[in-house]
Structure 1
Amino acid sequence: MKIIKKNGRLEDFNIKKVKISIENAARDSGAMVNESDLKIIIKDVEKYLLNIRKDSLITSSYEVIGVVFEVLKRDGFKSILKAYMEFDKLS
């Protein structure tokens, strides 16, 4: 899968970057998130993106952020979601 970055560049999608941003948001929020939770969140994000982009396999940074928001909200990680939203405003 490819991703269109905020600056317009096209790069290979790296789910590890998403994982790191979620870990950072969890740390910033003071929420406890274990490796099992992270694996589930990341798997859900990947599955959601592949379902949306099954025809083109090209996504955008904005779409990834929206999917992460949706997965965190749906899975009940509200404090991590809030910190993730704050982080996104800064970047």
Structure 2
Amino acid sequence: MKIIKKDGRIEEFNIKKIKTSIENAARDSESMLNESDLKIITSDIENTLLKIRKDTLITSSYEVIGVIFEILKRNGFNSVLKSYVEFGK
């Protein structure tokens, strides 16, 4: 899968970058996420994006952020979500 960055560049999608940003948001919010939590969250993000973009396999950074928000919210990681939003400003 490819991702269109905010500045228009196209890169390979890298779930490790998302995992790192979620880990940082969890740390900043003083929330505990174990490796299992992170695996579930990142798998859900990646699977959701693949379902949305199954025909083109090209997503955007804006779409990725929206999916991350939705999945963190759906799974009850509200403090991580708040920190993630603050970090992204």
- The TM-score range, normalised by the shorter chain, is over 0.9
Structure 1, unaligned runs of 5 or more: none
Q: What is the CA distance between 1:87 and its match in structure 2? A: 1.1
Q: TM-score when scaled to structure 1?
A: 0.96
What is the distance in 2 between the residues matched to 1:36 and 1:48?
18
- Counterpart of 1:66 in structure 2 is 66
RMSD, aligned α-carbons: 0.4
Structure 1 residue 67: deviation in Å? 0.3
2:8 corresponds to: 8
Moved over 3 A (4+): none
The aligned length equals: 89
CA distance in structure 2 between the partners assigned to 1:75 and 1:48 by the alignment: 14
| Cα separation, 2, equivalents of 1:88 and 1:59 | 18
Query: What does residue 83 of structure 2 align with?
Result: 83
AA partner of residue 87 (structure 2): F
Residue identity matched to 1:78:
N
Q: Residues 27-55 of structure 1: CA distance to partner in whole angstroms, max 9, x if unpaired?
A: 00000000000000000000100010001
